[in-house]
Amino acid sequence: MSLLHGLTALDLAAVGPAARASRILADYGMRVIKVAPVAGAGVEAIEPVFHAYGGGRGMQKIRVNLKTEAGRNVIVRLASRADALIESYRPGVASRLGIGYEQLKAHNPRLIYCSTTGYGQAGPYAQWAGHDIDYLAVGGFLACSGRDAEGRPALPGATVADSAGGGMHAAMAIMAALVGRAQSGVGTHLDVSVVDGVLNLMSLYLDQYLATGEETQPGSALLTGKFACYGVYTAGDGRHLAVGAIEGKFFRNLCRLLGVEHYADAQYDPSRQDEIRQGLQERFRTRSRDEWTALLADKDTCVAPVLAISEVAANAHLRSQGAFMTANHPKHGTFGQLAPNLAGAERDQPTFNLPPAGQLDTDAVLGGAGYSADEIRELRGQGSVQ
């Protein structure tokens, strides 16, 4: 049985950290009901591309018009039966709509209400709009990252803030709150700030500064490129290798296999880093990336190939771990997608058949919440649901 089987979450967000959080929860077996605005109700509707966020795998979808009292009451009734609710409105908006934590708590004291925002529910930045790059900027991540050709912080290759600072942060907080509720019997309001999540990711450097006053910059610390034993090198075919030989034994193995044993005892000599880095680079240029991988990766050198996304998708090791699965779309056909791949999730998944565009689960969701067929027809006629 899936770890979160039997639990239900409402997700009122279409994209971003909240959508990533509900994807994680669904992958652990939680029933997730995606609540979107009614089309044409004057609310900007964001529809992710068909393959985004697992294509809605394991989720149900309903459209609700929160501008109507009946629509708001639908959320209240669904929340009264749910274990968790995730929303990503600006601070104060959910309460003005009548679906804030205190309002829903009155109907379901066990509800775990998760608000995901960029900067939290209070404070000078609380009403700022933002996206992943903004949260990485305010949390110190960009300042410690590599530089582009113009000397500016380089764009990261993944949405680190949305995925880890927000989505994983929210999912972990919800799971912790579920454990707490099992003891106390009551729910809670989780104020998930994406920037707080980024701060957690940056804890090594923040704690260092707070304790010593030493500020981390690109090239100033071991993990930001100060030493040649930790970095990225170009192979003879123009592709790249990641070297993370922090410990002396790994660096000695690397130097021996590269034929540069004279660098082994100078691993952390500040005066010789440019020399060592150049020497390693010259050696790596003599063979292709895959040749070096075959020679070094399994020899305790902490060397790995830098894989393109296409190579990741075809990688034999990842395939052997069940990292990918098959999906089928009525318009786009059969394609692959990332399987539930976090520890404890069910990786062995059957083919996921995506519903046709626009298909909703309104009758099933509302029927499960106690609405009769006549009531559902009336809600549709009012334009409160679709």
Do 172 and 257 fall within a single domain? no
d(CA 303, CA 246): 11
State which of 275, 291, 306 marks the end of a domain. Answer: 306
d(CA 21, CA 171): 5
Do 264 and 197 fall within a single domain? no
Residue type, position 35, single letter: V
d(CA 101, CA 225): 45
- In the set 107, 131, 207, 237, the catalytic residue is 131
pLDDT of residue 1: 79
In a domain, 349, yes or no: no
Q: Is 196 exposed, middle or buried (0-12, 13-18, 19+ CB in 10 A)?
A: middle
Q: What is the DSSP string of 135-184?
A: HHHHTTTGGGS-B-TTSSBPPPSS-HIIIIIIIIHHHHHHHHHHHHHHHH
Q: Identify the CATH number of the domain in which residue 46 sits.
A: 3.40.50.10540
Do 34 and 83 fall within a single domain? yes
pLDDT of residue 45: 64
In a domain, 68, yes or no: yes
**Cβ proximity of 68 and 380 under 8 Å:** no
Q: Quote the number of domains for the chain.
A: 2
Q: Is 131 a catalytic residue?
A: yes
CA distances from residue 354 to 20, 123, 130, 207, 229 in whole angstroms, order as listed = 18, 41, 31, 46, 46
Do 65 and 112 fall within a single domain? yes
Strands 188-193 and 8-11: unpaired
**Cβ proximity of 62 and 366 under 8 Å:** yes
d(CA 353, CA 364): 18
pLDDT of residue 325: 96
Q: Is 320 exposed, middle or buried (0-12, 13-18, 19+ CB in 10 A)?
A: exposed
Phi, psi angle pair for 251, to nearest 5°:
-65, -40
The CA-CA-CA angle for residues 319, 321, 324, to 5°, reads: 50
Tokens 């083919």 sit at which residue? 351
d(CA 202, CA 224): 12
- In the set 11, 83, 134, 162, the catalytic residue is 162
Do 183 and 248 fall within a single domain? no
Q: Identify the CATH number of the domain in which residue 250 sits.
A: 3.30.1540.10
Do 21 and 144 fall within a single domain? yes
pLDDT of residue 42: 61
pLDDT of residue 39: 80
pLDDT of residue 48: 86
Do 197 and 255 fall within a single domain? no
Do 26 and 146 fall within a single domain? yes
CA distances from residue 285 to 21, 126, 280, 311 in whole angstroms, order as listed = 42, 49, 9, 21
In a domain, 320, yes or no: no
pLDDT of residue 242: 98
The dihedral through the CA atoms of 115, 119, 125, 130 has a sign that is negative
Q: Which residues constitute the domain of residue 100? A: 8-201+356-382
Do 180 and 233 fall within a single domain? no
- Number of C-beta neighbours around residue 348 at 10 A: 8
Q: What is the per-residue pLDDT across 98-152, written as a single tens digit (0 to 9) for each?
A: 999 999 999 999 999 999 999 999 999 999 999 999 999 999 999 999 999 999 9
First vs last C-alpha separation in the chain: 32
CA distances from residue 83 to 220, 223, 323, 355 in whole angstroms, order as listed = 46, 40, 29, 26
- Low-confidence stretches of the chain (pLDDT beneath 70): 41-45
The CA-CA-CA angle for residues 168, 172, 177, to 5°, reads: 150
Do 151 and 239 fall within a single domain? no
pLDDT of residue 55: 92
State which of 246, 280, 306 marks the end of a domain. Answer: 306
Do 170 and 232 fall within a single domain? no
Using only the alpha carbons of the chain, give its radius of gyration.
25
pLDDT of residue 11: 97
pLDDT of residue 138: 98
Phi, psi angle pair for 383, to nearest 5°:
80, 20
In a domain, 319, yes or no: no
Question: Among residues 172, 219, 221, which one has the least CA distance to residue 197?
Answer: 172
Do 36 and 160 fall within a single domain? yes
Q: Is 162 a catalytic residue?
A: yes
